[in-house]
């Protein structure tokens, strides 16, 4: 699933809060995996977004789910 990061106020109504368990950066894209309970969710966001949020393994973050996209938000 290809994701985008909103620079304004997040608009996703459904948020799943979890812990970052993996970040793979390749070029201008990054694959971020969150562990949420017994489940994992993986999202593709820009590498710049990962750097701007200073995301790293072990951080608490949320997957914001919209009908057309899923966003990662550091919490």
Q: Where are the domains of the chain?
A: 14-74
Select 14-74's CATH number: 1.10.510.10, 3.30.10.20, 3.90.1150.10, 2.40.50.100: 2.40.50.100
Closest CA to 59 of 45, 38, 41, 73: 73
pTM reported for the whole predicted model: 0.74
- Of the chain, the percentage scoring pLDDT greater than 90 comes to 63
What integer is the mean pLDDT of 46-66?
A: 93
**H helix intervals, 1-75:** 47-53
What integer is the mean pLDDT of 56-61?
A: 96
pLDDT at 38 over 90: yes
Per residue, what are the HEC states of 32-48? EEEEECCEEEEEEEEHH
């Amino acid at each position: 699933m290809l994701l985008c990061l909103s620079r304004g106020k997040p608009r996703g109504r459904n948020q799943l809060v979890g812990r970052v368990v993996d970040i793979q950066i390749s070029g201008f894209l990054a694959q971020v995996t969150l562990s949420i309970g017994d489940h994992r969710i993986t999202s593709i966001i820009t590498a710049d977004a990962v750097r701007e949020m200073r995301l790293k393994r072990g951080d608490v973050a949320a997957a914001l789910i919209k009908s057309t996209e899923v966003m990662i938000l550091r919490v």
